[in-house]
Amino acid sequence: MSDQEGDPFVTEPKDGKRLRDAWNALADEVDGVSDVNDADIWRTLASEGSVDEREAIVDRLALDPAAAESWRLAQELHRELAERESSYRSVTVVPLWRRRWVAVAATLLLAAGLVLSMQIVDLPSAPPDEPVFRDPAAVQLLSLIPEDVPQPQDQVTLSWSGAGEGVRYTVRVLGSDFEPLSVQRELTATEVRVPSERLSDIAATERLMWQVEARWPDGQIATSPTFFLYLAPAQKTLHTF
């Protein structure tokens, strides 16, 4: 759980645990089948989708103990993930003061270099091997295709907001069961066509997921949220006689 989300309650009611235990026990009454998709639960916990969609999932939890159980597990995994990411970030993100110091040092070096290059023409001009400090968490990779417009099966083109020059992208398309359908790597453009043969067995009603990963030349990585897409029913080909 992240620091901001760590306080469950200012004052926990005395009967809180008993109520939760009784509520959780309902999961043992059902056969485990739920019509709420695990992916939707995951998406709601990540605050993805509209508020209406999230409310609809929360409403289902009140009725569907199997979905509620799945939510509790996903929630704990989300907390683990948030904990992991915050600990990674605290290691990788350079404090502001140090970034400023690097910027000042770089400016001074540049100024000194300019003065020297004006005075000594033959000085080798090798660029300093300065590390580039970037916070991947601050980079937002956004889908540029509307989620609610079905894509023609043989022409699915995914596009996203770029993360700058020199970035290589990996785009993954997954089925609703998380089964990978297509992975395309080392992309330099910010759009890619999904091979139609990879989608040939997918029903038009199935919701697919896709995600972009950006990798900078210095090895830093940023990942997009998970986006969704639907396929339009295949067009019938008309043959002329």
Partner 1 sequence: MTRSDPVDPTSPTREAADATVVELHHALERVVQRACPPWLVAHRDDLVQAAVLKVLAVQERKGEGIDEVPASYLYRVAHSALVDEIRRHRRKREVALEEGGDIVEQSKRVRDPEQQASSRQAGRAIQNCLSRLKVERKRAVTLYLQGSSVPESSRILGWKRKRTENLVFRGLVDLRQCLIKKGIRS
Q: Which residues contact partner 1 (rule: CB under 8 A)? A: 1, 4-10, 13, 15-16, 18-29, 31-33, 38-39, 42, 44-45, 47, 51, 54-55, 58-59, 61-63, 65-66, 68-78, 80-81, 84-85, 172, 177-180, 183, 211, 213, 221, 223, 226
Per DSSP, 135 falls in state -
Whole-number minimum distance, CB 172 to partner 1, in Å?
A: 7
Enter the tokens of residue 94. Answer: 């350079």
Rounded Cα gap, residues 168 and 213, in angstroms: 8
Rounded Cα gap, residues 64 and 83, in angstroms: 29
* Distance set, CA 126 to CA 117, 122, 130, 182, 204 (Å): 12, 12, 12, 42, 56
Report the residue number, 113 or 223, with the smaller CB distance to partner 1: 223
Whole-number minimum distance, CB 88 to partner 1, in Å?
A: 9
DSSP for 24-59, written as a single string: HHGGGGS-S--SS-HHHHHHHHTT-S-HHHHHHHHH
Report the residue number, 84 or 193, with the smaller CB distance to partner 1: 84
- Cβ atoms within 10 A of the Cβ of 192, count? 20
Whole-number minimum distance, CB 219 to partner 1, in Å?
A: 12
Rounded Cα gap, residues 238 and 233, in angstroms: 15
Enter the tokens of residue 216. Answer: 């900078």
Report the residue number, 102 or 176, with the smaller CB distance to partner 1: 176
Token pair 């990585």: residue: 221
**3-class secondary-structure state, position 65:** helix
Report the residue number, 152 or 180, with the smaller CB distance to partner 1: 180
Rounded Cα gap, residues 232 and 209, in angstroms: 15
Report the residue number, 49 or 150, with the smaller CB distance to partner 1: 49
Whole-number minimum distance, CB 143 to partner 1, in Å?
A: 16
Whole-number minimum distance, CB 86 to partner 1, in Å?
A: 12
Report the residue number, 26 or 112, with the smaller CB distance to partner 1: 26
**Which amino acid belongs to residue 18?**
R
Whole-number minimum distance, CB 175 to partner 1, in Å?
A: 11
